[in-house]
Chain A
Amino acid sequence: SQELEQSPQSLIVQEGKNLTINCTSSKTLYGLYWYKQKYGEGLIFLMMLQKGGEEKSHEKITAKLDEKKQQSSLHITASQPSHAGIYLCGAAYTSGTYKYIFGTGTRLKVLA
């Protein structure tokens, strides 16, 4: 959806390098969700961000939501081959919504 843009579309990094994936919304977010999808499999929930300026970490993955609640970044420190996959951001724009919007994903490849 054009409401939610992810960048870059694809990324190839050497093992051990840091990387950042961005998710930008055209509207103020209620909630922003990060998922990881391994090729040919379902989506695994990573983190949910709701408050402006919020930051959460899961193992070597950190996600932040900006103060205006329109942009989120996902940062991976010291990448490993196990981090490879497709990272998707999803958004809810109101507290009572059932209609989530998803970005088109960022394909990450980590070279050993």
Chain B
Amino acid sequence: NAGVTQTPKFQVLKTGQSMTLQCAQDMNHNSMYWYRQDPGMGLRLIYYSASEGTTDKGEVPNGYNVSRLNKREFSLRLESAAPSQTSVYFCASTYRQSNEQFFGPGTRLTVL
């Protein structure tokens, strides 16, 4: 099993450009999450999907959109990237709520 996979691993964007971060899990988990990790601020939840077909806002959703394409895949879209969105983005999944989360390797995004 690959666990949680993310693409791309690195990305550089110019202000105003758009892009989609992809995440997939092969553990038959019901719930999926997107976090950003910034120095000194820990992990902050952007959006989550409790189950296929549902998505909800987390702590810092502004400037992002998500799509739960199917049970395996959960994508994060930046419509108009801003320098404040420079961060490391992690996708995670759980079998059910309050269970331990399994994380992908992360996407390092720089917005110039």
Contact = CB atoms under 8 A, between A and B. Distances in A.
Interface of A: 1, 30-31, 33, 35, 40-45, 48, 88, 90, 92, 94-100, 102-105
* Interface secondary structure of A, over-half rule: loop
Contact of B56 (A42, A43, A90, A98): A98
A48 B100 contact: yes
B90 A43 contact: yes
Q: Which 5 residue pairs of A and B lie closest in terms of their CB atoms, listed nearest first?
A: A102-B43, A43-B103, A104-B42, A42-B103, A42-B105
Nearest to B50: A98
18 contacts: A31-B98, A41-B105, A42-B4, A42-B90, A42-B106, A45-B103, A48-B99, A90-B43, A92-B98, A96-B98, A97-B98, A98-B48, A98-B50, A98-B56, A99-B59, A102-B42, A102-B44, A104-B41
A33 B103 CA distance: 13
Contacts, number: 61
B39 to A, nearest CB: 9
B109 to A, nearest CB: 14
Nearest to B102: A45
B110 to A, nearest CB: 14
B106 A41 contact: yes
B28 to A, nearest CB: 17
Contact of B45 (A30, A41, A99): A99
A94 B106 contact: no
Contacts of A105: 42
